[in-house]
Chains A and B, each alone.
Chain A
Amino acid sequence: MDNMYTEYYLVVDLATGEAEEIELEEEFVQEYVGGAKLNMALYEEHKDGDPIVLGTGLLTGTLVPGSCLGVITAKSPVTGKVAHAPFTWSAGAELKLTGYSFVVIKNKAANPTYLWLHDEIADFVDASELWGKNTWDAVDVIRDEQGEDRIQLLSIGKAGENKLSTAMITNNYWGTGDRFGFGALFGEKNLKSVAMRGMGELEVDDPDAFIEKTKSVFDDVKSQVGDAKGLDAIDYAKIPADLKDAAKKQLHRVEADFNSPLAYKFFLKYREDPSVMLSTDVEEPGVLVSDPIGYAAIANAGVVPADAGEVLEAMFKLGLNPVAVASKLTAKDKAGAIAELEKFAESSEADKFDAVFSPIAPMSDRTEAAYIAGICPVLVAKAEALNADIFAELASIGTGLDFKADAFKM
């Protein structure tokens, strides 16, 4: 593709250590558009290799609000079906900017490996030393090894290494929307991490028209999103009142995903005064609540609200899906809960549920369209200006092809 996507996508065979660049053809994009839909086509094509497909949408990485979305598509150990989970923060856009809008990862590596994608290069790096390390240490080691602190990572912790359906693929130090046990698939493939950093550029067919349309969408989205921040921005989830109070006391700063106006993520400090703005020698002062629903699940399971952040941190470090394991906790305090989590990372099983898209945001036609376009489903839940008609219009202006709204349906 000349516009909006990279020229190539990548097919990685972990068994042979080969990575093949394949041209991303215009006809293919016209038919499958992108995100979950194009991922699905690639999944079917490479089915024999039990693939994990990482993909972006046409709008991922552009100035369209919420353009942070990357989609993981694979067969879920929880549902037994092919499912789609989001990864956001900076990782979705970073994947595209590595030079590969889509990456198919198939088969199994003989030894622990991490995949290092950067500037149209895919390196297979030995991860024997990383196997057994928690996700935070893995991030530090890989960023140090590759000499760049803006590297974005999708990794697994102990739960994924143990191939558990409660495992979650993590993003840097925090969570993703993986509720499908995809972490177990990384474990089965001997894949510790996919590390990404790119200096790519995305071309646009009609830059002036694209920016003007995008600006009007931005203005609409901003007014629909309003001023709600942190837990107040997630109005579709049950957040206990005492958890909101506890979060307020530990709140450091609110944050948004890449190019999103919705600051629904927030950082809690509990090993340092939350009002401290300086960078101090406290290396791990707290946790980014990247997953408010997971955070709420911990409190709903009876854990003391003031301890919920630290328990969430332990889940991220072990690579456990907070929603899958929170309800299994019996301890009410952090020490007890963290000890239980260590055990869950050795052995535990997620409750079955039925869904094709990760239940991190309410599903609607607009959510489905967003999973194809590359727009954050959490933002879409707040902003009606983000819909299939708009995505089709922007996709058409950006590519010079003709997309209709119904292309943004699976």
Chain B
Amino acid sequence: MTIQVDPQKCINCGACELGCSFYRDEVFTTMSSSVMMYREEKRNYFGLMLKREDDMILGRPEGVEIQKEGEASDSDAGASAKPILLREPCDECKDALCVRFCPTGCLIEVD
């Protein structure tokens, strides 16, 4: 099982952050999830990042990019990706709460 991202569907609600954080620690917070939203609020540029074992999925509004470990990105999403480097990578958990509580189908599980 792996998670696929369709960033154009995202409505930036953050349920995925809450869901994954809850899966990890059984508390409500946005701080410990493997998935993380970013937003340039005034420009309305928003998307999400998913940290995986060996790489990171950048779900930008203009498209999805897989960033290998150690690779720098010149985009703003890369710059704001810093805090996620400290997070646990996605362990492709069963009945993933990030997917179950995503209201738009932006995050889906694929085999």
Give the B-binding residues of A (Cβ under 8 A): 61-63, 65, 90, 93, 97, 136, 149-150, 172-173, 199-204, 207, 211, 215, 218, 222, 252-261, 263, 267, 269, 277-280, 282-286, 288
A322 to B15, CA, bound (A): 30
Q: Is the CB of B13 within 8 A of A279?
A: no
Given contacts A199-B29, A201-B25, 6 further A-B contacts (CB under 8 A): A63-B19, A149-B39, A173-B42, A199-B31, A204-B28, A263-B104
Interface centre among A63, A215, A254 (most CB of B within 10 A): A63
Candidates A97, A207, A257, A286; contact of B29 at CB < 8 Å: A97
Q: Is the CB of A260 within 8 A of B28?
A: no
A150 to B46, CA, bound (A): 12
A255 to B97, CA, bound (A): 21
Q: Is the CB of A259 within 8 A of B29?
A: no
A215 to B27, CA, bound (A): 16
Q: Does B100 contact A (CB under 8 A)?
A: yes
Residues of A within 8 A of B46 (CB): 253, 255
Q: Does B71 contact A (CB under 8 A)?
A: no
Residues of B within 8 A of A97 (CB): 29-30
Query: Smallest CB-CB separation from B77: which chain A residue?
Result: A279
Query: Smallest CB-CB separation from B23: which chain A residue?
Result: A211
A91 to B23, CA, bound (A): 23
User: In the assembled complex, how far is the CB of residue A288 from the closest CB belonging to chain B, in whole angstroms?
Assistant: 7
A61 to B25, CA, bound (A): 15
Q: Known: A62-B28, A201-B29. Is A286-B15 also a contact (CB below 8 A)? A: no
Residues of A within 8 A of B8 (CB): 277
User: Considering the complex, which residues of chain B in the window 41-72 have a beta carbon less than 8 Å from any beta carbon of chain A?
Assistant: 41-46, 60-62
Candidates B15, B39, B43, B62; contact of A283 at CB < 8 Å: B43
Query: Smallest CB-CB separation from B40: which chain A residue?
Result: A279
Give the A-binding residues of B (Cβ under 8 A): 8, 11-15, 18-19, 22, 25-31, 39-46, 60-62, 76, 80, 97, 100-101, 103-104
User: In the assembled complex, how far is the CB of residue A92 from the closest CB belonging to chain B, in whole angstroms?
Assistant: 12
Q: Is the CB of B28 within 8 A of A285?
A: no
A-B contact pairs, 11 of them (CB 8 A): A63-B28, A199-B29, A202-B29, A204-B26, A255-B13, A255-B46, A259-B14, A259-B101, A260-B103, A269-B44, A282-B43
A260 to B104, CA, bound (A): 11
Residues of A within 8 A of B25 (CB): 201
Query: Smallest CB-CB separation from B45: which chain A residue?
Result: A279
A263 to B14, CA, bound (A): 13
Q: Is the CB of A259 within 8 A of B44?
A: no
User: In the assembled complex, how far is the CB of residue B101 from the closest CB belonging to chain A, in whole angstroms?
Assistant: 6
Q: Is the CB of B15 within 8 A of A259?
A: yes
Q: Is the CB of A252 within 8 A of B44?
A: yes
A253 to B97, CA, bound (A): 25
Query: Smallest CB-CB separation from B28: which chain A residue?
Result: A202
Q: Known: A173-B41, A255-B12, A279-B40. Is A203-B27 also a contact (CB below 8 A)? A: yes
Q: Known: A215-B101, A222-B103, A279-B76. Is A201-B41 also a contact (CB below 8 A)? A: no
Q: Is the CB of B62 within 8 A of A278?
A: yes
User: In the assembled complex, how far is the CB of residue B59 from the closest CB belonging to chain A, in whole angstroms?
Assistant: 12
User: In the assembled complex, how far is the CB of residue B86 from the closest CB belonging to chain A, in whole angstroms?
Assistant: 12
User: In the assembled complex, how far is the CB of residue B85 from the closest CB belonging to chain A, in whole angstroms?
Assistant: 16
Query: Smallest CB-CB separation from A286: which chain B residue?
Result: B44
Interface centre among B18, B46, B62 (most CB of A within 10 A): B18
A254 to B46, CA, bound (A): 11
A136 to B12, CA, bound (A): 21
Residues of A within 8 A of B40 (CB): 149, 279
User: In the assembled complex, how far is the CB of residue A307 from the closest CB belonging to chain B, in whole angstroms?
Assistant: 19
- What 6 A-B pairs come out closest when comparing CB atoms? A261-B103, A279-B45, A201-B27, A202-B28, A267-B44, A277-B61
Interface centre among B13, B62, B76, B101 (most CB of A within 10 A): B13
Q: Is the CB of A218 within 8 A of B101?
A: yes
Q: Is the CB of B100 within 8 A of A215?
A: yes
Candidates B28, B97, B104; contact of A201 at CB < 8 Å: B28
A279 to B8, CA, bound (A): 14
A254 to B13, CA, bound (A): 11
Query: Smallest CB-CB separation from A288: which chain B residue?
Result: B44
A258 to B80, CA, bound (A): 20
